[in-house]
Structure 1
Amino acid sequence: MTKALIVLTNHAKFDTLNRATGVWLSEATHFNQVMTDNQIDVDYVSPAGGYVPLDPGSIAADQLDAVNLAFYTDADFRNRALGQSLKPSDVNAADYDIIYFAGGHGTVWDFPKNQELGQLAKQIYDNGGIISAVCHGLVGLLAIQNADGNAFIDGKQLTGFTNEEEAINQLTDDVPFLAEDALKAAGAHHTKSDPYTEHVVTDGRLVTGQNPQSAKGVGEAVIAVLNK
């Protein structure tokens, strides 16, 4: 049976602001819904395991579409994804065909240097699986290295949250680094569309999306790669 692993952040607050953060709900749920529609089981992992905070902005009234509301009110999702996510050491890479790094600002603190998650993703990929990510979740790819020690994304075509989108958020000076700059510095070929419009890039078995608007599209592109 095909199975997907969704990676979520544990980081709950900006370091420089009295402002909560966490996973951006739709970036988990819209991808998840595509998996559900295609009879693909999903598990949830986070760098530390256990509690996963939600960015409060992602559950504002204007963000609670039918998919978000269905997952937010589902006890299984709340318990397994937000309450009791797995630790990387709990996960056997051989059980999964897909790994997906969901975004939210929290990820820029706890994804990039998490070697356990990086190794897990690389094992899934080396087993013939798909690595996918959206928005700030792309910084999880920075932890993935090839056998020669070089960055996995060096030379890869991808997208991710842009400098312009961070400026629109007025958070440029409050994140430890800018996702677009970090991806380019690691050697990736980063492309983008207009701010907050859907943009999905597929490079072999790597599928990435620019922003929250791209999460469903990433899921659909993953299914397309899976069915090749």
Structure 2
Amino acid sequence: MKKILVVITNVTKYPTTTRATGLWFSEVVHFVEPFYKKGYEIDYVSPNGGMITNDPHSLEAQNMSELDWKYYTDAKFMNKLAQTKSPKEINAKDYEVIYYAGGHGVLWDFPDNEELQTISKEIYENGGVVSGVCHGVVGLLNIKLSNGEYLIKDKKVTGFSNEEEQQAGLSPFVPFLPEDAMKEREAHYIKGANWTAFTVSDARVVTGQNPASGLEVAKKVLEII
């Protein structure tokens, strides 16, 4: 049984305003839970390795389920989550799935990380799955396959929508919008209802629209592998 690789942002603050960001906690928890139940080993990696933080807004009571609290109060899990591996420590052959978790910070450190792009390409070309949720899907934008084509070109995908960004009130503070960026890569962007779980799977690329979609992404990935 190969391992699962979860990618988390190192960005802890919006460069454009005095607001904290980081991992949107539930987007990891709801994804990893089904894999832990099936006995998979999961590693956590970030663009720079080392410390990551959780977006404090993701830890507010209205955003935390019982499952989230179970993981948040698990010291072993939290310690592993907080001390991520660096891309240099990762051998792509050890993994059959890579999953890009969200949080607004990813908009600054996911798209241009060539080491993570290479890892993703190798996992995909070895028959594995490349996946992401919410803002995390921007980690897929610049992955190129060996044939020189972008991974998501001509594939059905989803991710945090322009409408959801506007409703969150954060459009003025982000460098770009995931929906627009995926369309620019000639992907076929599909949108579900705002703030409701929605996922798309196409040729071993699995994407979820918003924070509610992590579990559904995991289910679709498990169907594939």
Structure 1 contact 158–203 (Cα < 8 Å) conserved = yes
Q: Determine if the alignment matches structure 1 residue 190 to structure 2 residue 189.
A: yes
Partner SS, residue 173 of structure 1: helix
**Which position in structure 1 is the counterpart of 2:205?**
206
Post-superposition CA distance 1:182-217 (Å, at most 9, x none): 011011100011110111101021111000111000
Partner SS, residue 94 of structure 1: helix
Partner SS, residue 97 of structure 1: strand
Task: Kindly report the root-mean-square deviation, in angstroms, between the aligned alpha carbons of the 2 structures.
Answer: 0.9
What is the CA distance between 1:150 and its match in structure 2?
A: 2.7
Q: Distance in 2 between matches of 1:138 and 1:186?
A: 12
Aligned residues: 225
Q: Distance in 1 between matches of 2:216 and 2:32?
A: 11
Q: Distance in 1 between matches of 2:176 and 2:56?
A: 22
Quick one: percent identity of the two aligned structures?
47
Structure 1 contact 117–143 (Cα < 8 Å) conserved = no
Q: Determine if the alignment matches structure 1 residue 129 to structure 2 residue 128.
A: yes
Post-superposition CA distance 1:23-58 (Å, at most 9, x none): 100000100101112221111000000011110011
Q: TM-score by structure 2 length?
A: 0.98
Structure 1 unmatched ranges of 5 or more: none
Post-superposition CA distance 1:58-107 (Å, at most 9, x none): 1111222121111111122221111x100000001011011000011010
**Which position in structure 2 is the counterpart of 1:45?**
45
Q: Distance in 1 between matches of 2:143 and 2:158?
A: 16
Post-superposition CA distance 1:122-142 (Å, at most 9, x none): 101111111110000000001
Partner SS, residue 143 of structure 1: coil
Q: Distance in 1 between matches of 2:186 and 2:146?
A: 16
Greater alpha carbon shift after TM alignment, 132-141 vs 65-74: 65-74
Q: TM-score by structure 1 length?
A: 0.96
After TM superposition, list the pairs within 5 Å mapping 1:1-228 onto structure 2: 1-82=1-82, 84-226=83-225
Query: Counterpart of 1:105 in structure 2: which amino acid?
Result: H
Q: Distance in 2 between matches of 1:116 and 1:143?
A: 11
